Structure 1
Amino acid sequence: MPWRIRVAFFCCLLLAVLGCGEDRQTNGDPSAVDDDSVASDEGWHWQLHSDGSLDISRDDRLLFTITGVERRLFNPNVGMLFGFYFINPGMVRTETLYLTKAADRVILNAGNQEVGEITFDETAAGNLRVLVSLRKDQAGRAIRLRFALSAEDRFWGFGEQYNFVDFRGQKMPVWVQEQGVGRRPLPLLPTQGDLHDTYFPMPYFLDPAAGKGFLLENTTYSLFDLGSFSSREWSVEAWDGATASFLVLPGPKPAAIVTQLTAEIGRPDRIPPDWAFAGVWLAAQGGTEMVAARLETALEAGIPVSAVWVQDWVGLRNFGLQNFGVKYHWTLDEQLYPNLREWIASLDERGIRFLGYFNPFIVPRYDQYAAAEKRGYLIRRPDGRVYQFPIITFVGSLLDVTNPQAGAWFQDFARRAIDLGMRGWMADFGEWLPYDAVLDNGAAPTTHNLYPTLWHRLNREALEEAYPDGDYVLLTRSGFSGEQRVAQIVWAGDQEASWDPYDGLPTVVTAGLTIGLAGIPFFTHDIAGFSGGPSTQELYLRWTELGAFTPVMRTHEGLQKLENHNFDSDPKTLAHFTRFAKIHAALFPYFAQLANEARAMGLPLIRHTELVDPDWAESLQAHGQWMIGDDLLLAPVVTEGGEQVKVYLPEGEWEHLFTGERYSGRTIFTVPAPIGTPAAFFRRGRLAAEVELIRSLN
């Protein structure tokens, strides 16, 4: 670095630390700003200043200021254990690039050498694409972009998250992985996960206060530093490529930002069938007799069951300590489920669909492994060997979803399940692709985050082929940008069957809010959790209340199925579950209306209050409740022994769904919420038929 530039750089750094600069870091001197700017006919405008900062504006509203571009060189160490990743860049050499203007682009310079450029292009949806590209012979391991940070800036989103809505002041890695079992801020075990691990990350945020959004289009590993190092600057680092491309979403309303986002990365091309919303998906396992008995208990109680979900149709696996899972293969266990085709046909006659289970693991203990290995359908190590790794209590590998022949081979198994009469299934996992794996389409770093979507597409294609009318469901948990085009219904993953604030019931609310901000419209979760346990009666009752006000209401017996509380564990629970299942079914017309809105506008069914009333400042704090559309609000009790809850009621006139008490909007209050009377409110004058039916159930 030339000495004059080095001195100037450290002077600027000193000014930033001392807080002497303005937001654009030009020291507040108008003479420091030149007229080196370009404007588009559509209102976009960018301006390069003499201090090297680059403003990006729309209609005279400053959206982002790039304060630096860096080329970073390192050789990372990346390990994986049980779907959790340990990422260490090692020694890093950073080189700051300097910006100069040329016509309608910005030149990136290293010393006196031109090494790349920044270009600007308006997308068909009206957003701005900013492409930072280095010449291939000048590329490092990563590109880091630095941006000005103001005191008001907020960073909401980053895909499905469990402990935060706003990530201001934090570092956020964007890498598909397991979300943790008993996650903690400082995990003691590698499989616990920390508060940023998630199955469904996205390099995206919206700033509700400033009315803008940001989407990094790179699909490789990225790291956002959102003010953890400096109160005046945030940054994003994109690995494994010579370019960093991002979209500026101009808003200004938060709902508009979600619409702008989904215009770019996709919206549902097909709405789930009516029965997905109109009844309960009842989870049961243990063989035909056991599942049938549990189903009859539900039906005799009056529970509106629309589907029975049987994950162990492939076989039951007991892996100790009363934990039960499924066998990891793709064929029917005929001993556990004899004459399954005939039984499914009898369920169809009663209007009940049968749902199954698949995952992309292939393990040596089952016949599929030998065939996959022989045909080259498994992921491989750099030396060409099949890539095996530990999977819970055994070892296995992954289907190479980038290999067309491997995908077609899996779809043959999917067709066999469909031939049995299945109307869909859970397409589980998708997070375990090792960083150093080799696939048919190349190296894993560029495919890892896309693996879930490629896996889900294989499943979706098989179902679409069999049911061109759309009378099927696909349930998934993992994803990344672009999943919005493929995913149908996303569930929150494996919560602890507990009240734990980091990994239990409270995290479902945050997951629903953040996955909605990411443009995923159809959301669900396990009643009452999956890992840990055993669950209790109170937990089950509260989780049921939350489930009733979720687009898809579904149960799970959990890992400790013999010890966990269930819908039929006692008369009180059975009556409670039956009532709230009927409440859920009564909301079907409203869910259907919102589903059509999601397809047209990309808006989620579960919404943060800020999406509904962005002009009310208090909406920014309403992270403990969710809106169903614009006209229904639920503030659930998610703490053990809780009997009341705080409510942020947006603009309008509202009425308590169960007590009939009336409230004016834009108020904050605490309301009693005993079990059986959750804090649910509807906008007066709306949902008349649904409310009448629900109140008749009381």
Structure 2
Amino acid sequence: MKFTDGFWLMRDGVQASYATEVRDIRADADRFTAYAAVKRVERRGDTLNSPLLTTDCFSPAEGVIGVRTTHLAGRRSTGPDFELPGGDASVGQVRRDGEVVELTSGALSVRLDTTAPWTLSFRDADGREVTSAGRKGTAFFTTGDGAHHMAGQLALGVGEQVYGLGERFTPFIRNGQVVDMWQADGGTSSEQAYKNVPFSLHVSPAGAYGVFVKHPGRVSYEIGSESVGQMQFSVEDQSLEYYVVAGPTPKDVLRRYTALTGRPALPPAWSFGLWLTTSFTTQYDEATVTKFVDQMAERDIPLSVFHFDCFWMREYQWSDFTWDPEVFPDPVGMLARLKERGLKISVWINPYIAQKSALFDEAAELGYLVKQANGDIWQWDLWQAGMALVDFTNPDASAWFQAKLKVLLDQGVDCFKTDFGERIPTDVVWYDGSDPERMHNYYTQLYNQVVFELLQKERGLGEAVLFARSATAGGQQFPVHWGGDCWSSFGAMAESLRGGLSLSLSGFGFWSHDIGGFEGTPDPAVFKRWLAFGLLSSHSRLHGSSSYRVPWEFGDEAVDVARKFTKLKHRLMPYLYGAATEAHGAGVPLMRPMLLEFPEDPTARALDRQYMLGPDVLVAPVFSADGDVEFYLPEGTWTHLLTGEKVQGPAWRRETHGFEGLPLYVRPGAVLPLAADERRPDGDWTEGLTLLVTPDAQDVTVTVPDHDGRPAAVYRVTRQAGVTASASEGVPAPSVTEL
């Protein structure tokens, strides 16, 4: 939100109060509190009739500094609040040196000089300033409509670029943008987002740091927009809390941030295979499903998961979690028949209960639906006629919802697509008294957590996986998330990738998208190019709105492309699952913007049409029918995975590829483990393993995980007279192929 009118003036009706002068400091061993007047105090009378801002500085985790500024402290806090599973409020150390107080946590400190104009200076381990909240950096504003906003400003250094803030489809670098944290079902072609995460990653020639605003409601960002040298964030509240997260590299920032807010669970290996869905509004029954599965097998396209979208339930009754008996008269038998073919089963759900559903009356009687202030159940006709909303702040309502889903698990369902969760009303009363404005964004956290925890309980810790659309900070703990409703075009394909890379820089380890696009029917060229991109993503799903996404609908060549890249992904699984364990254990995403792996390369910081799939494979999707693609290779000798071509970087490249090719390069010095089994993603990866060795690889250790993420085998690759490889005890020796 903008408060100023240019550099000198305020907007009409806006009054500003900035922390100006420190009047007192209270310090403990691990935190300090500063009291700041909002004007110069020259005599005792100046302390009258004037606000005092209270700023607490503390450390919730190593390398993280928290700042909480409060104007009026008497406002009752009703929640919800972001949970910090990795938090520990006593890890900082305070030091006072004359009039300077400093709080240090690991490689980061915050310094306040009580004799100087108000400035919170954040510094790295070498004493260099990372950022600062200076003259206007700690403030509150009142507006003509009586609203009260707390605001913070942090200085942007020369060359500093800002990323993240959730899955955003606007330009990849946030500088110059206005961004509001507010969940919306707005597709992928606007400034709205399904996944709003108030965490930004800052990268400059000096290094990297992060900023997490710990407020689940609407956080309004002005990123070098209102004041071009500042990132401003504001909330309509009496208090503002934010955390500065130390680097020095972007990976270090993500490690610390996800350690604080929660690391992604490790998805099961089978979930990395190809998912095929019924699509949304298409006509389908068991015969249709069986025909699709048969034809995938006949065309030798391995399939891992079959997903039933909305109309597995009866019309006007979403969600009642009951199979439409006219379309699926024998759901238990049908699921058993599909599972006999080695398939996992996913079904679509959402947290809304339509009035026609029998569950509506049941939930209403039990008090499990969100209510209005007068006690009536909140309802509207958007999406489903007379639909209401399950109140997940009520533990009994959450247990009731889980019990309905457990019936489906007992029938043979393996996982759920947790759709929606964005259009949450603010004119309601929650069971636990939560603030409706704060709950609008946070609802998705409760929704996905309820479903994910049921899957962990019923299927086991390593078997839980969602296909979720909405999320906020901490939502990375419940993978996988997909990019929502995109159009079926090259432009939408590119904006989907941009959103996924943005989400990965917001702490999310796993991400997917609808291959071919959701709305409309893709041109065959779009579909074929999207197939390669989708099958070189974290998770891969064929899904559409009003038309099927089976490959043969788009020609024989589309079948060939689907077959080739599905089998390639299966062979890459020992490598991909190793990267997945890193996402789970360290918070580094599987699909990585180039800046994560090459932060020292200034060219890498702006790249949003290519990515690293894990640490060692560069993917540049083709966004054109003619196959023309432009991409960048950082320093070193890169080797094309499919052709073996060697290219020396750093260099921009322009290549032309047929539909069965794309720029797919292995990093200099890498050793890539490939499985022998191209039929499934969850086979025995050590049996018949091949190690692809790049020319620059000298002495490399490769760890191949088991399906639980623990090491299954360790290989040592050395180069002397030639390339040799040894395996850990009890593991079959690998084949070695030089790229």
- For the superposition of Structure 1 and Structure 2, which TM-score range results when normalised by the shorter chain? 0.7 to 0.9
Specify the code of the residue in structure 2 equivalent to 1:243: S
Residue of structure 1 in register with 2:253 after alignment: 257
d(CA) in 1 for partners of 2:613 and 2:254?
A: 16
State the TM-score, normalizing by the size of structure 1: 0.79
Distance 1:372 1:91, change over 3 A: farther
- Residue by residue over 1:330-350, the C-alpha shift from the partner in whole angstroms, topping out at 9 and shown as x without a partner, is 222222122221222233333
Q: Does residue 570 of structure 2 align to residue 561 of structure 1?
A: no
SS of 1:438's partner is coil
Of 584-593 and 96-105, more deviation after overlay is shown by 96-105
Q: Does residue 588 of structure 2 align to residue 603 of structure 1?
A: yes
- Contact preservation (8 Å) 2:623, 2:629: no
Q: Does residue 195 of structure 2 align to residue 208 of structure 1?
A: no
Residue of structure 2 in register with 1:506 after alignment: 494
Of 619-628 and 120-129, more deviation after overlay is shown by 120-129
d(CA) in 2 for partners of 1:98 and 1:683?
A: 51
Residue of structure 2 in register with 1:118 after alignment: 55
SS of 1:496's partner is coil
d(CA) in 1 for partners of 2:14 and 2:553?
A: 57
SS of 2:642's partner is coil
Q: Structure 2: state its 5+ residue gaps.
A: 26-31, 40-46, 76-139, 141-146, 679-691, 693-736
Q: Does residue 29 of structure 2 align to residue 107 of structure 1?
A: no
User: Given the alignment, which residue of 169, 186, 193 partners 1:198?
Assistant: 193
d(CA) in 2 for partners of 1:692 and 1:332?
A: 39
SS of 1:252's partner is coil
Residue of structure 2 in register with 1:494 after alignment: 485
- Contact preservation (8 Å) 2:355, 2:385: no
- Residue by residue over 1:390-415, the C-alpha shift from the partner in whole angstroms, topping out at 9 and shown as x without a partner, is 32363422111111111111111100
- Contact preservation (8 Å) 1:354, 1:424: yes
Q: CA deviation at 1:137?
A: 4.6
SS of 1:576's partner is helix
Specify the code of the residue in structure 2 equivalent to 1:257: V
Q: CA deviation at 1:110?
A: 4.6
SS of 1:449's partner is helix
d(CA) in 1 for partners of 2:22 and 2:439?
A: 34
SS of 2:293's partner is helix
User: Given the alignment, which residue of 581, 594, 608 partners 1:623?
Assistant: 608
d(CA) in 2 for partners of 1:576 and 1:665?
A: 29
Residue of structure 2 in register with 1:480 after alignment: 472
Residue of structure 2 in register with 1:448 after alignment: 440
Distance 1:688 1:228, change over 3 A: closer
Q: CA deviation at 1:577?
A: 1.2
Q: How does 1:431-446 map to 2 (within 5 A)?
A: 431-442=422-433, 443-446=435-438
Residue of structure 2 in register with 1:321 after alignment: none
Residue of structure 2 in register with 1:78 after alignment: none
Q: CA deviation at 1:469?
A: 4.6
- Contact preservation (8 Å) 1:313, 1:336: no
Distance 1:646 1:382, change over 3 A: same
Distance 1:99 1:399, change over 3 A: farther
- Contact preservation (8 Å) 2:575, 2:672: no
Specify the code of the residue in structure 2 equivalent to 1:445: E
- Residue by residue over 1:317-341, the C-alpha shift from the partner in whole angstroms, topping out at 9 and shown as x without a partner, is 59xxxxxxx9443222222122221
Distance 1:234 1:683, change over 3 A: closer
Q: Structure 1: state its 5+ residue gaps.
A: 1-9, 19-69, 73-89, 184-193, 319-325
Q: Does residue 215 of structure 2 align to residue 218 of structure 1?
A: yes
User: Given the alignment, which residue of 65, 70, 73 partners 1:128?
Assistant: 65
SS of 2:527's partner is helix
Q: CA deviation at 1:466?
A: 0.9
Specify the code of the residue in structure 1 equivalent to 2:452: R
- Contact preservation (8 Å) 2:393, 2:430: yes
- Contact preservation (8 Å) 2:278, 2:289: yes
Residue of structure 2 in register with 1:168 after alignment: 175
Q: Does residue 573 of structure 2 align to residue 588 of structure 1?
A: yes
d(CA) in 2 for partners of 1:553 and 1:344?
A: 21
Specify the code of the residue in structure 2 equivalent to 1:457: Q
d(CA) in 1 for partners of 2:337 and 2:404?
A: 23
RMSD: 2.7
Residue of structure 2 in register with 1:400 after alignment: 391
d(CA) in 2 for partners of 1:559 and 1:317?
A: 16
Q: Does residue 511 of structure 2 align to residue 523 of structure 1?
A: yes
- Contact preservation (8 Å) 1:654, 1:681: yes
Q: Does residue 538 of structure 2 align to residue 551 of structure 1?
A: yes
User: Given the alignment, which residue of 307, 310, 317 partners 2:308?
Assistant: 310
User: Given the alignment, which residue of 146, 152, 160 partners 1:153?
Assistant: 160
Q: Does residue 570 of structure 2 align to residue 573 of structure 1?
A: no
Residue of structure 2 in register with 1:667 after alignment: 651
- Contact preservation (8 Å) 1:125, 1:263: no
Percent same amino acid at aligned positions?
A: 26
- Residue by residue over 1:260-281, the C-alpha shift from the partner in whole angstroms, topping out at 9 and shown as x without a partner, is 111111102x31111112x211
Q: How does 1:348-497 map to 2 (within 5 A)?
A: 348-392=339-383, 394-442=385-433, 443-485=435-477, 487-497=478-488
- Contact preservation (8 Å) 1:634, 1:680: yes
d(CA) in 2 for partners of 1:692 and 1:647?
A: 30
Distance 1:662 1:17, change over 3 A: farther
Q: CA deviation at 1:583?
A: 1.4
SS of 1:272's partner is coil
Residue of structure 2 in register with 1:83 after alignment: none
SS of 1:665's partner is strand
Distance 1:692 1:342, change over 3 A: closer
- Contact preservation (8 Å) 1:109, 1:115: yes
Q: CA deviation at 1:109?
A: 2.7
- Contact preservation (8 Å) 2:22, 2:35: yes
Q: CA deviation at 1:199?
A: 0.5
SS of 1:298's partner is helix
State the TM-score, normalizing by the size of structure 2: 0.75
Q: CA deviation at 1:212?
A: 1.6
- Contact preservation (8 Å) 1:513, 1:607: yes
- Contact preservation (8 Å) 1:226, 1:234: yes
Specify the code of the residue in structure 1 equivalent to 2:575: Y
Distance 1:264 1:658, change over 3 A: same
- Contact preservation (8 Å) 1:161, 1:198: yes
User: Given the alignment, which residue of 238, 244, 266 partners 2:240?
Assistant: 244
Residue of structure 2 in register with 1:537 after alignment: 524
- Contact preservation (8 Å) 1:567, 1:577: no
Of 571-580 and 426-435, more deviation after overlay is shown by 571-580
d(CA) in 2 for partners of 1:163 and 1:227?
A: 15
Q: Does residue 224 of structure 2 align to residue 227 of structure 1?
A: yes
Distance 1:483 1:393, change over 3 A: closer
- Contact preservation (8 Å) 1:316, 1:327: yes
